[in-house]
Amino acid sequence: MEIVRLGRSGLNVSRISLGAMGFGDKSWRSWVLDEAEAKPIVKRALDLGINLVDTCNFYSKGASEMLLGRLLKGTIRRDDVVIATKFGFTMGPSANEKGYSRKHIVEAVEGSLRRLGVDHIDLYQTHIWDPSTNLEEMVQALADLVRAGKVLYVGATDIPAWQLVKAVYLAKAAGLPGFASLQYHYNAIWREAEREAMPFCRDEGIGLLPYSPAARGFLSGPQRRSGPGQTERARTDSYANEWYGRDSDGIVADVLQAIAKARGVSPSQVAIAWVLRQPGVHAPIIGATRLEHVEEAVAATKIELAQEELAQIDAAYLPRREIRHA
């Protein structure tokens, strides 16, 4: 497994990241794996050289962090793994149990440290964005966590580009640690981050951690999009139904499938290989719920798509209308 430096930070990460949204409590989502089911997947990922594992306090209402903490503690040295988690989405009924106030940031990090069973988090990231955030307060509070040693690096997820820019330059102006990474929704049929966020991050040396590289299975073959071959997640994933399904999305999926057939690999591997080839991308996050998901993703790092293949994928893509944020 190739190891790369995450942007201009000193953090070294594997070219594939293991996402832990699918590990935790089945009562949260029917397709989520319990600890016994997740254990061989985590072990296989680590054995194959994946060192970056991404979770969130919101996943399975905290159970994902707890499960992951137990599995990592019994499998790998703490120094050999990069633990990333996220915060900011609603964690309870109180008005202050969400968002990016100093109050919630302090409470959220303590909760994640306790559930993960560690004394520090390697990469601590914002999650669902709140456009009303007081950016100065958030930047200062995150910097305080770094100073205290509770967090080593901070990152953002799906933040509007103009607020990302503002947060980065607020940190620079105050001499504070800023975002080391941006986690964002990105794949061959969802490319809106190419307009502003990705170029800015490349210019600033901010690491790019795209999630859903296979579009939640939409790019994994026609059997995953409809019919009896659908997985439990595909049948119950309302986000996938909202985000994907345009005629042009199907055309891109067909192009990926044709490339995969010609190469003797899976469409998912072509989708991941495409993301890996995009400028500035460091470690796509894969939501593995089967061993073959991990193995295919790692194998995809060795696939070098030809310029003609990349051009075919680009030609099939239809940009979405501009998405306006608050």
Position 183: which residue type? Q
Decide the pairing of beta strands 17-19 and 285-286: parallel
Which tokens go with 179? 């975002």
SS3 312: helix
Between CA 159 and CA 193 the distance in angstroms is 10
Tens of pLDDT along the chain (326 residues) come to: 899 999 999 999 999 999 999 999 999 998 899 999 999 999 999 999 999 999 999 999 989 999 999 999 978 999 999 999 999 998 888 888 899 999 999 999 999 999 999 999 999 999 999 999 999 999 999 999 999 999 999 999 999 999 999 999 999 999 999 999 999 999 999 999 999 999 999 999 999 999 999 999 999 987 655 555 556 565 555 566 677 889 999 999 999 999 999 999 999 999 999 999 999 999 999 999 999 999 999 999 999 999 999 999 999 999 987 655 44
Decide the pairing of beta strands 52-54 and 151-157: unpaired
Active site residues: 59
Decide the pairing of beta strands 179-185 and 121-126: unpaired
Q: Output the pLDDT for position 75.
A: 86
**Cβ-proximal residues to 173 (8 Å cutoff; 6+ apart), any chain:** none
SS3 14: strand
Residue 265 backbone dihedrals phi, psi, to 5 degrees: -125, 180
Between CA 178 and CA 195 the distance in angstroms is 22
Q: Output the pLDDT for position 325.
A: 47
pLDDT digits (tens, 9 = 90+) for 21-76: 999 999 999 889 999 999 999 999 999 999 999 999 999 998 999 999 999 997 89
Following DSSP, what letter does each residue of 236-298 receive, concatenated? H-HHHHHH---HHHHHHHHHHHHHHHHHTS-HHHHHHHHHHTSTTB---EE--SSHHHHHHHH
Decide the pairing of beta strands 3-5 and 52-54: unpaired
Following DSSP, what letter does each residue of 152-170 receive, concatenated? EEEEEES--HHHHHHHHHH
**Cβ-proximal residues to 197 (8 Å cutoff; 6+ apart), any chain:** 161, 164, 182, 184
Whose tokens are 């061989």? That residue is 40
Between CA 118 and CA 288 the distance in angstroms is 23
pLDDT digits (tens, 9 = 90+) for 201-226: 999 999 999 999 999 999 998 765 55
Q: Output the pLDDT for position 326.
A: 43
Q: Output the pLDDT for position 1.
A: 87
Whose tokens are 């796509």? That residue is 284
SS3 110: helix
Are the beta carbons of 324 and 250 closer than 8 angstroms? no
Q: Output the pLDDT for position 185.
A: 95
pTM score of the predicted model:
0.91
